[in-house]
Every structure is written in structure tokens, then in C-alpha cells.
Amino acid sequence: MVCCLNLIKGGVDHIFIVDNGSANGSVHELHVALNKYKQVRILTTKANLGYARGNNVGLRAIESEFGLADDHILIVVNPDSLLNSENIEQVTNFCLSHTDAGTVTVPQKGNQKTAWHNITKKRALLYNSRIFSKLAHHCGKEEAIPYLLKHSDTKRIKVDVNLGAFFAIRQTIFSKVGYFDSATFLYYEEQALTFKLQAQGYQNYLLLTSSYAHKGQGSTQLASRKVLGYYQQSRRYLLIQYLNAGKFALHFYDWTIRFEDVLSGDHFSGKD
């Protein structure tokens, strides 16, 4: 609710809210609070489609209603991202003035991982091991290597992957790459989008001229085993679709999951 009101204050022309299969009465609350705003549309899905497919519902609804145009700038925002007019103006103007721009965002307050370097096949396979990833985390190493943001006179940097909690992108570019990859339910959606944009010659940017607040990460409130399952499924898909993993690599990937599931007493295959 607060997120939407911030977008209205920030001068966003049209706002499409996708309620992704909520079963707690939140849709009614949205209508009660927001029906008076003519620029707001509330869309609903019958089930939780995940991040990529859920966002695509809204993105395709926008295309259906308003068509495609180079001067249409789409802003993807998680409901717990709190933006101001400065954030919105900066990313919008940058997209309009840079034809090479893919996703454009600004740093998230208190989070160094607003943007990170592309994942590689080697890192995806190594960090699939929960044992290795815990050891690496203990040593201060992560699967995705963030860009370290230090004070400088630089107003923007070129990055590989931008966080999906808030970014802007030219509508024609987003449509050209088919929006989000709907084969991912949760995790790696931003990475898949980056690979698609890079294949078409587009560059993602992080602007260092403002920052935005983020209240929390709702998806991680799911049961931890379920989250791990989504994580493993999406990473396996990324290996196949974008990192050209061969049979040996995929066998190693699946063996790692089975081996550590046996050690932990779980029974899950990343392919399911």
C-alpha cells in the first residue's frame, strides 16, 4: 500500500498491481484503499505464479492496454520497496537518454548487493554444495560477487545484474527479450534477464545519485526447505538454459544435492 502511494506521489502515470494468488483478503484491502486512484489497476492471479510469471502478467497487461513505445519506461517494484520522486525521476530520465540501457536502478540502503557480477558455470556448480557454500560464507565469500560501492565522483557504473526489487527499463527493450524468463519461480530471475539483455547488446546500470529503502524480503519467509528447493531448481535451469552445462556438469549438480540430502535426512531432487 505504502509502495503504491509513493509511486503516485512520485508522478508515475499508470500503476499495475499484481496480486499473486493471495488468499488472505489482501485484494479486498487493496481495492478499498486504492480504487479512488484512477491511475491504479489491480490484477489478480488464481495461484501464486512466482516472481517472473507474476510480473509478466502485469507487463503484458500494460502492453495490451497501451501498446509498445520507445518512450514508455517500465518500473518494476517489489511491494516492500519504498521509493521517492528522486529515485523515479533519475532512473526514468536515464533510460530515456541512453538507448543502450537495459535495467537501471539506484543502490538499496544498507545492502551492498544491489548489483553483482554475472554468475559462472563453475561458481553455480561449486555453490550448489551446501557444505561448500557455508564454508565460503564463513570466509566472507558468496556465490554472487557484489560490486563494492565506495564514495567517489562517479555518478553511475556499468554492472552485470541489478536487483529485482526496483529497476526501470525501456518497454520496447523489455518486450524484445520476452520480459522475465517464466521458467523460474523464485531466484535467479534477475540473472536470467541479464543474460537475455546482454545477448541483445544491452547494458545494465547502477546510478549512484540516490538510494531507496527496502523493508524486508518476503519470499524468504517461506519454509526454508521449500526455499532451498526453488533455489536449486532455478539454478539448474540457469545452468542448462544460459550457461551451457553439459551432462557431466548436470550429473555432478544432481549428485551434490542427493549426497547432501542424504547427510541431512532430506529427500529432494533439484529436477523435480
pLDDT in tens, 222-231: 557 778 888 8
pLDDT surpassing 60 at residue 81 = yes
CA distance 50 to 56: 10
pLDDT value, residue 90: 98
Q: Which grid coordinates belong to 168?
A: 526501470
Task: Return the exposure string of 240-264: e unless at least 16 CB atoms fall within 10 Å of the residue's CB, then b.
Answer: eebbebeeebbeebbebbeebbeee
Strands of 79-178, DSSP E: 81-82, 101-105, 115-116, 156-159, 161-162, 166-170
Between these two residues, 174 and 258, which has the higher pLDDT value?
174
In this structure, how many other beta carbons lie within 10 angstroms of the beta carbon of residue 38? Answer: 7
pLDDT value, residue 266: 65
Q: Which grid coordinates belong to 176?
A: 524484445
CA distance 188 to 229: 13
DSSP state of 67: -
User: Torsion-angle region of residue 92: left (phi > 0), alpha (psi -120 to 50) or beta?
Assistant: alpha
pLDDT band at 271 (very low <50, low <70, confident <90, very high): low
Contacts of 215 (CB under 8 A, 6+ apart): 80, 81, 82
pLDDT value, residue 222: 52
Q: Which grid coordinates belong to 122?
A: 563453475
pTM of the model: 0.91
CA distance 133 to 128: 7
Bridge partner list, 115: 162
pLDDT value, residue 31: 92
Which H/E stretch holds residue 41? strand 40-44
